[in-house]
Structure 1
Amino acid sequence: MALFALGINHTTADISVREKVAFAPSEMEAALLDAQEHNIVEEISILSTCNRTEIYFECQQEADRIVDWISTYKSVEPEQLNGVTYSYAGADAVRHMMKVASGLDSMVLGEPQILGQIKSCYAVAKEAGSLGGVLHDAFQRVFSVAKRVRSETAIGENPVSVAYAAVSLARQIFSDLKQDTALLIGAGETIELVARHLVEQGIKKIIVANRTLENARELAAQFSAEAILLADIPSFLHQADIVIASTASQLPILGKGAVEQALKARKHKPMFMLDIAVPRDIEAQVDELADVFLYTVDDLKEVIDENKRSREQAAQIAHEIIEESIVQYERDLRAFSAVNAIKAFRQNMESLSSSELEKALKNLNRGAEAEEVLQQLARGLTNKFMHLPSAQVKKASADGRQDIVRSFQHIFDLDVVNPDQTESE
């Protein structure tokens, strides 16, 4: 039985592949149960973000079977996954999870949102009943390390995130945002951060579009913005100088035709569009329009790279914290391997004790002196406890297995002078 981490991310595959294996929140529980029902894994949890899809699982069989399951479940040709997935086992899997949770494996080094996404991944799996002792223990260690990294390093200082990078990219197109209107599609955490950064840059107006008007209004209220439904976007799109989309939709929300109509109404005044959703919210064909600057989450890399350099020192400290935790994890695993042996030893000792105690009680019931019965009980326990270990260590010594003799001395903390040492002295 082993713990594995298998995934695909922004460094191994572009968005056209990643969006095919992304799991929407609404399908997550069904996917977890499907993997278990088909005996692919014993325990499983799935992390799916705009930059990665990772599966953490425990199984007795070959870990590669999970790739076949992904291919079947997501209707993706196996060839498309060849060479773009990575996998880790045992302590390496836990180390990878710690790096991801600490933001060390993110496109934006040290970005904080990933920890919340991993906590959600854990919570969903727990609710679905697909977690067991192995994954639960791994996640608790991961959360503990990520917390230490945040509190003991400066990796999370400076506002560097996908949301921050998105606004930075918008400023490269429109140097002054004070005269611009932004249409934000979605109402999740990333869009909220985008709105916050836009307000800090003095954006003139924000429109929030969401499938649920109540959620749009709730977010819009924080920034004195206007709330609309997704269906209303065509009527408002012409107002937007900046469009940033991040929803969990499995199909594009904004098509080429709607953008063409908006451009006509704007008299072809340029529009900046950034699609940070996976799968994409904006049709790729929109990029064919001359007056649109369309970017995807992959285009943020250049903006983000500038900030990586400022966090490298903090990242080094974070790696040291992780390695320290992995040493303890491996130590705990080795200790756990002795648990069954200790349990069996305790059961044997309890069985011997029960036998001797039964004899003592019978003697007391027959009227024997209590002191004599206790002395017999003590002798009996000593002889029973000593018999098998003594016989085994004598045999080991006769067979030349001095390593076992030394282990015996170490386990029972015996201060023994060996005969050959006495003679040499």
Structure 2
Amino acid sequence: MSLLAFGINHKTAPVEIRERVAFTPEQLEGAFLQLKQHPSISEATVVSTCNRTELYCVVEGEEAGLVLEWISQFHQLDLADLARYSYEYLGEHAARHLMRVSCGLDSMVLGEPQILGQIKDAFLNAQDNGLVGKELNQLFQQSFSVAKQVRTKTAIGENPVSVAYAAVNLAQRIFSDLAKSRALLIGAGETIELVARHLRNAGVRDMVVANRTLGRAQALAEEFNGEAVLLGDIPHQLERADIVIASTASQLPILGKGAVERALKVRKHRPIFMVDIAVPRDIEPQVGDLDDVYLYSVDDLREVIEENLRSRQEAAEQAEELVLAGVQDFLQSRKARGAGQMIGELRQKTEQLRQQELDKALQQLQNGQDPEQVLKRFAQSLTNKFLHEPTVQLRQASADERTDLLDNARTLFALD
């Protein structure tokens, strides 16, 4: 059995490719069903965010291309095209990759904390679907522990930097005074909540939250003294929005070029700043062709983000050391777990011998034999039974001049 990590992320593929490989919540149900039935996969976890889609699996042997082929079939993508944008790690390298991802060391935004929550959600989802066994459970628990150490022992989390922060930072460059701007937020998930928080800190007080379900939009809007609307109300809201930031799990674009054109006419061509953080994208790319629209995708935020990373580089080096230590701890525990079955068998055999001798001693006591003599015979017989097989093997090892076995036996029985 081998530990395998397969993925595609913001470093290896543009958003046009990533959105085709992303798993929606609805698709995950079918994906888990297929993975459970796969003859070569015994454990699996699917991580799907705007910047990455990754699978962590326990597979038979080291079958290169196993997960690549499965994803290609599931998403109906050309195998060669997908291979060009993907990566694959085995064993120790797979463990190190997951720990780096969990710590935010592999994120577009170095050290961003949101990824850890997303990794935990992916793990729990796979666990609920019966796809997590001992191997992945130990790996993910170790990854969570390392990520916690990185957060508490390094400064990688200082100076808030995230995709949401970068989006608001970019808006500040375009609008001289954000306090005079009205923001339309499409979606009501964790990313939009973070966007709203950064907008408020930047001075924005007029916010509208549009979502597929009104209840979640209202809960978020109330926190920021904003207004909640449904997705169907977006065309009307566009007419008054200076800033539009979208992040939903929709498979199809929510905002098209026609709706934005009509809004611009009503606005008399006052500019609109738009950021599409979603993968797949929420805003049609053609919207960016319109005059008076400044449209940025999640990939366009890279330059803004890179400016905020310099302060985290030293902390990242410290984090890498913690990751390496975490990988070694995982590998050591993995090796120790490998002896578990043998230890269990040894204990079972020993317990059988103990029970046999105990039953014999109890019978002798019931027959009225002297308790002191019964105990002496019990102890002597038990010792002889325990040591009989090791003694035979040690004598044979000596006869065969197997000094390596004799040295190991001395260590095993702590005879030094």
TM above 0.5, yes or no, is yes
Q: Does 1:67 align with 2:72?
A: no
Residue 177 (structure 2) aligns with: 176
Render the CA deviation track for 1:44-70: whole Å, top value 9, x for unaligned.
121111000111121215252221111
Residues 254-283 of structure 1: per-residue CA shift (max 9 Å, x gap): 111111111222222222111000000001
Deviations 1:110-144 (A, max 9, x none): 11111111111122112222222222222211111
1:4–1:63 Cα contact (<8 Å) kept: no
Measure, in 2, the Cα distance between the counterparts of 1:377 and 1:63: 57
1:131-185 per-position Cα deviation (integer Å, ceiling 9, x unaligned)? 2222222221111111111111111111111110001111222232122221111
Q: CA deviation at 1:362?
A: 4.2
2:186 is aligned to 185
Q: Sequence identity, in percent?
A: 55
Counterpart CA distance in 2 for 1:181 and 1:366 is 95
Listed one character per residue, the Cα deviations across residues 224-280 of structure 1 (whole Å, up to 9, x for unaligned) are 222221111111212122111100000000111111111222222222111000000
Could you tell me how far apart the structure 1 residues matched to 2:399 and 2:305 are?
68
C-alpha distance after superposition, 1:318-349 (max 9, x if no partner): 11112112221111111111112222222222
**Compared with structure 1, are the counterparts of its residues 383 and 38 closer, same or farther at alpha carbon in structure 2 (3 Å cutoff)?**
closer
Alpha-carbon distance in 1 for matches of 2:312, 2:65: 35
TM-score, normalised via structure 2 length:
0.95
In structure 2, the partner of 1:213 is: 214
1:289 aligns with 2:290: yes
Corresponding position: 1:397 with 2:395: no
Asked if 2 retains the 8 angstrom alpha-carbon contact of 1:17 and 1:80, the reply is no
The worse-fitting range, judged by mean Cα deviation, of 361-370 and 204-213 is 361-370
Alignment match, 1:21: 21
Q: What is the TM-score normalised by the length of structure 1?
A: 0.93
Residue 363 of structure 1 deviates from its aligned partner by 3.7
User: Aligned residue for 1:3?
Assistant: 3
Distance 1:177 1:394, change over 3 A: same
Alpha-carbon separation, structure 2, partners of 1:187 and 1:362: 73
Match of 2:44 in 1: 44
- The answer to whether the 8 A contact 1:275-1:282 is kept is yes
Aligned ranges 1:89-238 → 2 under 5 Å: 89-203=90-204, 205-238=206-239
The residue aligned with 2:263 is 262
Aligned 8 A contact 1:29 1:125 in 2? no
Is the CA contact 2:4–2:91 (under 8 Å) kept in the aligned structure 1?
Answer: yes
RMSD over aligned CA atoms reads: 1.7
When structure 1 is superposed on structure 2, of 50-59 and 363-372 the one drifting more is 363-372
Q: Please say if residues 241 and 270 of structure 1, whose CA atoms lie closer than 8 Å, have aligned partners that are also in contact.
A: yes
Which consecutive unaligned segments of at least 5 residues does structure 1 have?
Answer: 416-425
Residue by residue over 1:91-110, the C-alpha shift from the partner in whole angstroms, topping out at 9 and shown as x without a partner, is 32222111111111110011
Q: C-alpha separation between the residues in 2 aligned to 1:229 and 1:218?
A: 13
Per the alignment, residue 34 of structure 1 pairs with 34
Question: Residue 375 of structure 2 aligns with which residue?
Answer: 374
Supply the AA of the counterpart residue of 1:45: T
Given residue 16 of structure 1, which amino acid in structure 2 is its aligned partner?
Answer: E
Distance 2:363 2:276 in 1: 83
- 3-state DSSP of counterpart to 1:23: coil
Asked if the contact 2:138–2:330 (Cα under 8 Å) also holds between the matched residues in 1, the reply is: no
Q: How many equivalent pairs are there? A: 415
Q: Which runs of 4+ in 1 moved over 6 A?
A: none
CA displacement 1:181-233 (0-9 Å, x = unmatched): 21111111111111111111112522211111222222111222222211111
CA distance in structure 1 between the aligned counterparts of 2:309 and 2:347, rounded to whole angstroms = 54
- Paired residues of 1:190 and 1:246 also in contact (CA < 8 A): yes
- Alpha-carbon distance in 2 for matches of 1:154, 1:42: 38
Q: Residue 82 of structure 1: SS of its match in structure 2?
A: helix
| Contact 1:241/1:271, CA 8 A, preserved across alignment | yes
